[in-house]
Amino acid sequence: MLNDPRSHGLWELTAPAAPSTPPLQGDVTADVVAIGAGYTGLSAALHLAEAGQRAVVLEATEIGFGGAGRNVGLVNPGLWMMPDDVEAALPGDYGVRVLKQLGDGPRYVFDLIEKYGIQCEAVPTGTLHCAVGEAGLKELAERHRQWQTRGAPVRLLDAAETAAKLGTTAYPGALLDLRAGTIQPLAYARGLASAALGAGAAIHTGSAVTGIEAVGDRWRVTTAQGSVTARWVIPAGDAFATGPFAATRTEQVRLPYFNFATVPLSDNLRRAILPERQGVWDTKEILSSYRMDAAGRLVFGSVGALRNAGQAVHKAWSRRALAKLYPALADIAFEAEWYGWIGMTDDAVPRFHKFAPGVVGFNGYNGRGISPGTTFGRVLADLILGRIEEADLPLPLTDPKDASWRPVKEAYYEVGAQVAHLVEARF
């Protein structure tokens, strides 16, 4: 996008074409305007339009331009945090609520994909969280215990079972979560957009929001060439937000994350590596992740930005690390490379904000955007439609607050990942 092959990489090369969504021209009225055509804004618009509401989505660039079109494509339940920590971090029973909401989230995503016939390479065969060393095994054993007490369909695999799932003996164990799976993330975003348009919503790309003002009991949201006046506004830019709702960006520390995609593997390699096509990530602090796409490309990534010195450092590290996992891939060519940003809140918990009466949104998905974005979009629709009250939401109301030491942390993560990858996997 924007003539940058490192923004969306493989996903832009293989996703179905986006629907036609011209820039906003002139002044229109609506019931709800969502700002940002990622999972949250598109899901909210879809559900609102299906309920008969006039929903408009304004997007500064293109559908899925932010995290929705750049992520690895793992559809995971819950949050990065262990379930007990989520409950401890939130007041009252909000922890129980959000774990229920997000635990059921992947199933809801896959149901939407089936309902609307979204062509996004959906594979609901689970994900594998792989242990690195004894510390990793202990962590996964505890995650397994905590999820099992909540009735989740998770299995702790031993070394042999893990090797059978992965095609490598690099890990001594793994946690298989059968609620999860993988998708082509940009294709999913474009599919949600098509479904929303089919339900009667309007989507305008190339329409950056420049301002918002109260007009009686409504809000007038302006762009360079028009405006939308609506009773409700959903800021849904998350970690890519700019303009009037940049606070949803500044309350998060952005962690860079890159991916490389190999050329399609041979049939023999595809039968040996991830034969059931689960998505994978590990327990290292600077984690690695990988999964297979529909054409048999292995998508391999980690923390870091593919810019300046980072491009060469992370590419060389990826080749070394991939060869250690799978020696047969030592000389495999990379077909695409790209990177984006994961928005991390100070406590790794998402946020619900009410910026003003009628201006509400969720943000801060901490690397779990697909399921939370989709399901929180539905929750916002239910709130606007009066099906639920604020007291019924899965997260408490909080005020936006800038992340502590944000510029310092962001620079540290980018440089630190380069330093780590410069030396890792050399021996």
* Alpha-carbon span 399 to 397, nearest angstrom: 7
The set of residues, in sequence order, having a beta carbon less than 8 Å from that of 19 and lying 6+ positions away, is 63, 190, 193, 194, 197, 203
pLDDT of residue 399: 95
R_g (Cα) of the chain, nearest Å: 21
Determine the pLDDT at residue 425: 58
pLDDT tens, position by position, for the chain (427 residues)? Answer: 888 999 999 999 999 999 999 999 999 999 999 999 999 999 999 999 999 999 999 999 999 999 999 999 999 999 999 999 999 999 999 999 999 999 999 999 999 999 999 999 999 999 999 999 999 999 999 999 999 999 999 999 999 999 999 999 999 999 999 999 999 999 999 999 999 999 999 999 999 999 999 999 999 999 999 999 999 999 999 999 999 999 999 999 999 999 999 999 999 999 999 999 999 999 999 999 999 999 999 999 999 999 999 999 999 999 999 999 999 999 999 999 999 999 999 999 999 999 999 999 999 999 999 999 999 999 999 999 999 999 999 999 999 999 999 999 999 999 999 999 998 855 4
Read off the tokens for 61. Answer: 């660039």
Say if residues 54 and 29 touch (Cβ distance below 8 Å): yes
Structural domains in the chain, sorted by start? 5-126+179-423 (3.50.50.60)
d(CA 184, CA 23): 26
- Whole-angstrom distance, CA of residue 239 vs CA of residue 254: 7
Helix, strand, coil percentages, rounded to 5, for the chain? 40, 25, 35
Q: Does residue 42 contact residue 109 with C-beta atoms inside 8 Å?
A: no
For 279, residues 6+ apart whose C-beta sits below 8 A from its C-beta are 72, 73, 74, 75, 76, 127, 128, 180, 181, 182, 289, 290, 291
Nearest to 109 by CA among 416, 393, 372: 372
pLDDT, residue 2, reads 87
Q: Taking the model in full, what pTM does it have? A: 0.97
Residues 184, 293 contacting (CB under 8 angstroms): yes
Return the amino acid letter for 253.
V
Query: CA–CA separation, 313 vs 385, rounded Å?
Result: 50
